[in-house]
């Protein structure tokens, strides 16, 4: 049986884009492929606060040797914490192509809680990229770094996996959770247009 749910971070995101100009918010920046780490170095040199989530992946070279690499969790994306008016400084960095937009093409801010959950989750769990999922009924994570979030639940023979989706960049990550840490919740009414643009979803697999 397949169950799904939706995590909503809207409460921490301003509903009026004019509110974003007052203080720094997190934004996703689309980058040149495989240049994420170099871009992070440039941002550091320019004293621009940023976050490039990395995960560890085992790879085998053609000679049979194995190596563990640190790779971007969201290929071609990096997060920056800036005022909306400062995006020109970010886009002047070589390889930074665009600040991800929402309704009307305006920059779409991310909730602080979403970035903080990513930071904490990477320390507490094994996380890896995962194909985007949009199915199922709702369930809530009850414990751990992602406690209180909702997402899609798909049962697997080996257990359960949580898939966190950042809607602004249409990217997902997967993290393993215990069955006892999940609880079903009733279906909710469809999200508003703003909610569909700004919500982040967790898919539990």
Report DSSP letters for 170-198, one per residue: TEEEEEEE-GGGEEE----PPPPHHHHHH
Does residue 5 sit within a domain? no
Does residue 28 sit within a domain? yes
Does residue 148 sit within a domain? yes
The phi and psi torsions of 98 (rounded to 5 degrees) equal -165, 150
Eight-class DSSP state of 3: B
Does residue 89 sit within a domain? yes
Report DSSP letters for 81-136, one per residue: EE-GGGHHHHHTSTTEEEEPB-GGG-B-EEPHHHHHHHHHHHHHS-EEEE-----S
CA 127/CA 119 separation, integer angstroms:
11
Does residue 22 sit within a domain? yes
pLDDT tens column, 39-97: 999 999 999 999 999 999 998 888 889 999 999 999 999 999 999 889 999 999 999 99
- Domain harbouring 83, CATH code: 3.30.70.940
Domain count, the chain: 1
Domain hosting residue 84, numbered range: 10-204
Does residue 135 sit within a domain? yes
- pLDDT at 141 exceeding the cut of 60: yes
**Residue whose pair of structure tokens reads 């192509």 in the numeric block:** 97
What is the reported pTM?
0.64
Token pair listed for 161:
């996996």
Strands 182-184 and 139-141: antiparallel
**Residue whose pair of structure tokens reads 């909702």 in the numeric block:** 150
pLDDT tens column, 100-119: 987 677 888 999 998 998 89
Does residue 137 sit within a domain? yes
């Amino acid at each position: 049986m397949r169950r799904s749910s939706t995590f909503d971070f809207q409460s921490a995101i301003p509903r009026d884009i004019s509110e974003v100009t007052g203080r720094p918010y997190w934004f996703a920046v689309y980058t040149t492929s495989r240049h994420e780490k170099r871009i992070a170095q440039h941002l550091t040199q320019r004293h621009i606060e940023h976050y490039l989530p990395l995960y560890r992946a085992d790879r085998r070279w053609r000679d049979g040797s194995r190596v563990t690499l640190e790779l971007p969790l969201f290929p071609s994306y990096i997060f920056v914490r800036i005022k909306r008016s400062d995006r020109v400084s970010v886009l002047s960095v070589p390889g930074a192509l665009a600040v991800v937009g929402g309704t009307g093409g305006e920059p779409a801010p991310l909730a602080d809680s979403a970035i903080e959950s990513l930071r904490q989750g990477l320390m507490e769990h094994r996380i890896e990229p995962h194909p985007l999922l949009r199915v199922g009924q709702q369930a809530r994570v009850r414990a751990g770094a992602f406690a209180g979030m909702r997402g899609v639940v798909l049962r697997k023979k080996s257990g359960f996996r949580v898939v966190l989706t950042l809607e602004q960049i249409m990217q997902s990550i997967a993290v393993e959770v215990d069955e006892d840490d999940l609880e079903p919740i009733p279906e909710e009414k469809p999200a508003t247009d703003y909610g569909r643009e700004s919500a982040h979803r967790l898919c539990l697999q």
